[in-house]
Amino acid sequence: MATSKSKVTSSSVLDAYRQQIIPTDTEQKIADLAAAVATYESNKADRTAQERALAQRQTEDEDAVFDAYELAKTHGAKASILSEIGLKPEGALVAARGRRKQTSDAETIPQADVPTPAGGSDDLGAQSLQPPAPDAVSA
């Protein structure tokens, strides 16, 4: 049992030493800081998730406004009158139009012709990316 008693004694001695070096109020302030940082980090993660969800809802709302605006114009509504009565939210229309342009541009970009392997396999991952051996290259 001497070992157990010496551990208790050394632990209490270390606690006494720590209290001499770090005052109790400083230790409490450090504990308070640790709790505040943990709360901040948790709230930061929540805010990030909320910002993503809000951005997604805003995108959906802008797209809905754009679709409704274009449909109204298609059915004879005048853009100038819609603007005068507050039914032409420029920010939403510009954002939705920009996203649609990016999507249509990406769809119309011609793809480079990629030769298929001699075996006719569509699995390009199985193709070796190594150049032919030097003796296989004709001079």
Name the residue among 48, 47, 71, 67 with its Cα closest to residue 59. Answer: 67
Q: Which stretches of 22-78 are DSSP H helices? A: 24-74
Domain boundaries, the chain: 10-107
- Tokens 């075996």 sit on residue: 119
pLDDT band at 15 (very low <50, low <70, confident <90, very high): confident
Mean pLDDT over each residue of the chain, to the nearest integer = 82
Distance of alpha carbon 51 from alpha carbon 109, whole angstroms: 32
Q: Would the pLDDT of 115 be above 80?
A: no
Q: Provide the 3-class DSSP secondary structure of residue 81.
A: helix
- Look up the pTM and report it: 0.52
- Tokens 């001499």 sit on residue: 20
Q: Would the pLDDT of 69 be above 70?
A: yes
- Dig out the tokens for 111 from the structure: 């793809």
pLDDT tens digits, one per residue of 17-38: 888 888 878 889 999 999 999 9
